[in-house]
């Protein structure tokens, strides 16, 4: 009798295994980048961070207060486009997600670039260009005038900084908050600030 029970159980386990396996096609599947990926409540997904970043850029561009201060900065430059730098989004959570926040920073830069409102300065790229000029194929200086030109690049007018927080609330709710702020590098003042919040259960 025990052998019969063991045989039946083994058959059920095998049937479940092959039945379940047949329901999941092999290989990767593509989904739309705009598709909501909820993941688990305890951890932020790339969708959570990226969608918040895009929403905040949209709010900033629609803000009358931002536009007023932007126009004043542009007028002070005789109509030239203000120069923007994208700073860090600080990870204020306990999760190891800084690389995701850095990727969101790239999204912010491209969205603002597409707006046509700013010129952009990338400090890392400038350092790489200087290194290429100084260390040419012959190991020497390619053109001293190029180095001088690099040193005379226009100083930035604004910098985008932010932070990302994960709060655990009563009832099992997980709250994710992305805050972005644009600071004037001429006055040190904040010219725009916004927060986007997502709640997951």
d(CA 36, CA 86): 26
Confidence (pLDDT) at 43: 93
Confidence (pLDDT) at 7: 53
Tokens at 63, concatenated? 């803000």
Domains present along the chain, CATH in parentheses: 40-121+156-200 (3.40.50.10610)
Tokens at 187, concatenated? 């006055």
pLDDT average per 10 residues of sequence, the chain (201 residues): 54 53 69 85 94 97 96 94 94 96 95 95 64 55 53 79 96 96 94 97 93
Confidence (pLDDT) at 138: 53
d(CA 118, CA 76): 14
CB-CB contact of 129 with 150 (8 Å): yes
Strand 173-184 relative to strand 158-169: parallel, antiparallel, unpaired?
antiparallel
CB-CB contact of 188 with 117 (8 Å): no
Q: pTM of the prediction?
A: 0.74
Q: First and final CA of the chain: distance in angstroms?
A: 48
Confidence (pLDDT) at 33: 79
Confidence (pLDDT) at 81: 95
């Amino acid at each position: 009798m025990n052998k019969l029970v063991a045989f039946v159980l083994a058959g059920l386990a095998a049937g479940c295994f092959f039945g379940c396996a047949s329901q999941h096609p092999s290989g990767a599947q593509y989904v739309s980048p705009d598709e909501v990926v909820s993941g688990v409540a305890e951890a932020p997904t790339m969708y959570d961070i990226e969608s918040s970043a895009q929403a905040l850029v949209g709010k900033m561009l629609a803000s009358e207060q931002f536009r007023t201060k932007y126009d004043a900065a542009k007028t002070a430059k005789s109509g030239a486009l203000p120069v923007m730098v994208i700073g860090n989004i600080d990870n204020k959570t306990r999760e190891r997600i800084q690389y995701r926040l850095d990727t969101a920073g790239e999204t912010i830069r491209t969205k603002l670039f597409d707006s046509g409102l700013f010129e952009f300065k990338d400090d890392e790229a400038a350092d790489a260009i200087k290194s290429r000029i100084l260390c040419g194929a012959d190991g020497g200086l390619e053109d001293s005038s190029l180095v001088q030109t690099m040193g005379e690049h226009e100083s930035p007018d604004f910098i985008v900084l932010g932070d990302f927080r994960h709060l655990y609330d009563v009832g099992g709710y997980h709250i994710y908050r992305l805050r972005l702020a644009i600071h004037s590098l001429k006055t040190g003042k904040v010219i725009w600030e916004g927060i986007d919040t997502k709640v997951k259960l």
